[in-house]
Structure 1
Amino acid sequence: MFSVVKRNPVAVLLALLLHLALGFFLLFGMEWNDKPQRPQTSAPVVQAKAVEDPAKLAAAKQKQRQAEQAAERKKRLAQEQKRKAAEKKRKAEAKRKVAAKRKAEAKRKAEAEAKRKAEARQKAQAEAKRKAEAKQKAEAEAKRKAEVKRKAAAEAKRKAEAKRKAEAAAQVAREQELQAQLAAEQNLRQLDRYTIAIRQQIERSWLRPPNAGEGLACVVRVRLLPGGEVMPGSVRVLRSSGNGAFDRSVESAVYKASPLPVPSGGLFESFRDLRLEFEPEG
């Protein structure tokens, strides 16, 4: 009963009012008929007693039921339409949510894919940059090592060349020294030979003074010209023997022995200004 009232309150209210009106009519209509009628001065009036017609009452009830049923059907139809509209709206909303979710998911996947590709691209670029830097560094290191090797080879070559030159120079110096030594020795031998020859030639030209004893010696200076000629006035006694006649005899012997035997070329310079010790034998 309460569910019917909740579903169609208007129809129930109309039925209730109809029942109340019918009851009121029956109650008060019968009371009116029970009251005594005052006599009329005019012609008598016949009072009709109100009697309910069962057919009409049944028809009214039938009409009421039909109205209630119609109201109920209308209510159910409205509720069904409302339910269908709500279901349609719910499905549309669900479909919209699914589409939005799919769109959001597709967007998320697209963004994730774009992010992945961007990260992959950045990673590839970073890797390419790292490889390029590593290659450049390796090339620079190889170039540096090659330069170090080249410099080391050049330094080794320079040192070897310097060593070779030094050894060659040392060899040349040794040879030159040896040659100079040999030349000096040869010059000394020649000098000794010419000095002995000069002394012997002077001794052959010397005449011992009568008062000159044994063991006398003096040192004289003689200036010679190329070819061995004694320069006039050039003979001087540097260290006297202590015997004037002996010293003068030596000076006279030097002039008499001119030209003295002297070497030619460079060796003559050693005899241009000659210091000679004269000590005759016997």
Structure 2
Amino acid sequence: MGWMTTGWRRPDSYGFAVVVALIVHLLVAGLFLLQWPESKPRMAEPVPQHMIANVVQEENKAVKQRREKAEQQRQRKALAEKRRAQQQRQQQLAAKRKKEQQRREKLKQQQLAKQKAAAEKKRKAEAERLKQQQLAEQQAAEQKAQQQRQEQQRQEQQRLEQQMLRQLAQEQAAAELEAQRQAEIKAERAAATTLEHTALIRDRITSAWRYPPAVAAEMEVTVRLTLVPTGEVIQVQIINSSGHQGLDRSVEQAIHKASPLPVPNDIAVFEQNFRHLTMKFRPENASW
């Protein structure tokens, strides 16, 4: 049949074909039943060609209408899709233009901001330069004034130092004179004290000295005494012997017997002259 050869089908075309086929079969079955009682078999009459042609014509017309309707729907749908695509392109183009305009506006704002920032930076730099210049001038003036004050102070300090040096020199000279006078007095006193206590020590030792007989008057014994500030004798050393052992021993015995010896109370004189004392003894100075 004609609708079976077409490449495009819709579900409702199958229903119509089934209905037509069913009608044809019913007609054939009805004719067959009508002729069943006859003794002689009768050939079924074929369906008239004009009926089949009408059915086919009707079917082709319906198919054509459906195709036209489908084509119209397709065209409307394609037109709608085209319009939507155009609208989308127009919207995209408008969005692109808006975005480009926004970009240009933003770039313009950025350039204006940069120019404004550069101008502000230049203004601040100029203000800072003027400020630094004024500060430098002020510092230079202050430094100059300070140098003048320092120079005045230096001169005044130098004058005071010179005056102080002269005064110190005078005082030092007076102190040196006084120290020299005191040293001379102290030396005189130390010498007198030394002579006095040396004589006392000699008297104390000679009074305790008993030398042996058969010695010559010219025999001499030199001894070195080691004393402590209390006058105690802690060591006696024969420096030069008389050549007579008995005479030497008698001097040592006399010194230990006379200990403690009369030493001065002045510790400086003691340390200088009596810590280690060297003395000479001759028999002519001894008493029996």
Shorter-normalised TM range: 0.3 to 0.5
Question: TM (normalized to structure 2)?
Answer: 0.43
Question: TM (normalized to structure 1)?
Answer: 0.44
